[in-house]
Structure 1
């Protein structure tokens, strides 16, 4: 007689991480001068605007964000491969510690940053780089986990799947709740992040984002499924 395996806690963790994506996007777009550090599509578009001299778009910010994101993803790829065959909870904890630490260091840097004047420049680029590395590390880690419809940062394919696989399109609505949950999570995170940034600056939302990542991951690690070997 076999026992049914308990449902994986990963979808719940990834929904919580989606909330932090909204927080980080609010921090970067509203506080760092129209730059994304959680997803890179917007930066590529903005970089194209900056390349032809469109007012209000500054190429250095986008280049720093993209480079930082790539560095974070590169390191995460090596870390993930190094944890292949080891308990999943160990890999998750390392990823959470890296991301939370980078976000909290960014919060420390943000204490001396003036949002209105976007100065000093060194603090601006440091916050962009730190959050970009954190989000690159996160994206590469989530990509390796291969949980369908929960990328935690990008919603374009999620929304496309929600419509294309709906009953109206003749589909069977696979993962509908998960897809809707992902959209709602990022929406809520963005709203909360905007409220915090506009009312309290960058430090509080950065601290909160890091705390949510770490607390959510620790809660996930307690689950028996987190003891299974990681695959990368």
Structure 2
């Protein structure tokens, strides 16, 4: 849930502060590319392509790391990847604080971090916890609800994912509007680092 909230933060940073580009949600980013190619104002083809390329690079790196490290989709591997993500986000925060708006560098760094994480979370395959998109989670909430004749399986987890993303996006939007990009990026790095540090305790406690 912590890294899901970080995703909300990252998309608030990228969409509001980096020229209407998504760096965590690639569905939105592909749609934005379509808008930009169609000539809709306020959207950047270059920025969106940089984001998509960096995200895919991060996903490929995660897949290669898993094979090189002989990981078996373990929590310990996720902890390592989250550590790398936190480092990339910390570098992004440093870039934002020192250079102002190095837009393409910030897009590349944050999208690379999100690609690494997404590939790893996908391999772990925790039901209803994708950490970056909510479409299937919201669909499951409705289609498995008692109103639809279902039994509401994992309703708490699904609602927590939605609320975590909402909280991250809300907090990120407020920070971007009132403080710029550096502080929300630093908060994203700290949140990811905390998640990485907590994981071993959760796994050891069963």
Q: What is the deviation of 1:206?
A: 0.7
2:89 aligned with 1:110, yes or no?
no
> What residue in structure 2 maps to residue 55 of structure 1?
41
1:78 to 47, 64, 72: 64
1:147 to 123, 126, 138: 126
Which runs of structure 1 show a deviation greater than 2 angstroms over 4 or more consecutive aligned residues?
80-90, 222-227
Structure 1: segments with no counterpart, 5+ residues: 1-14, 228-232
- Rg larger in structure: 1
Determine the structure 2 residue equivalent to 1:213. Answer: 192
Instruction: Give the match for residue 76 of structure 2.
Output: 90
Question: 8 Å contact 1:113–1:124 — kept in the other structure?
Answer: no
Q: Distance in 1 between matches of 2:78 and 2:197?
A: 9
Cα distance in 2, alignment partners of residues 31 and 21 from structure 1: 15
Which ranges of structure 2 fall in alignment gaps of 5 or more residues?
none
Aligned to 1:6: none
Mapped partners of 1:131, 1:64: distance in 2: 11
Kindly provide the CA deviation profile for residues 62-95 of structure 1, in whole angstroms up to 9, marking residues without a partner as x: 0000000000000011122334457935312320
Take 2:81 and 2:37, find their aligned partners in 1: how far apart are those partners?
35
Higher helix proportion: 2
Partner of 1:3: none
Equivalent position to 1:192, from 171, 177, 181 = 171
List per-residue Cα deviations over 1:13-51 (Å, max 9, x = no partner): xx1111101110111011101110001111111111111
Shift of residue 53, structure 1, vs aligned partner: 1.5
What is the DSSP-based 3-state SS (H/G/I as helix, E as strand, rest coil) of the residue aligned with 1:223? helix
Native 8 Å contact 2:32 2:43 kept in 1: yes
Residues 16 and 176, structure 2, Cα contact 8 Å, conserved in 1? yes
Shift of 1:112: 4.1
For the residues of structure 1 that align with 2:63 and 2:79, how far apart are their CA atoms? Answer: 15
Q: 1:134 to 1:224 in 2, by over 3 A?
A: closer
Partner-residue secondary structure (3-state), 2:133: coil
In the alignment, does 2:160 pair up with 1:181? Answer: yes
Matched residue, 1:36: 22
CA distance in 2: counterparts of 1:153 and 1:44, whole angstroms: 15
Alpha carbons 2:8, 2:167 under 8 Å: kept: yes
Q: Which residue of 2 aligns with 1:17?
A: 3
Indicate yes or no: 2:101 matched with 1:131: no
1:147 aligned counterpart, secondary structure: coil
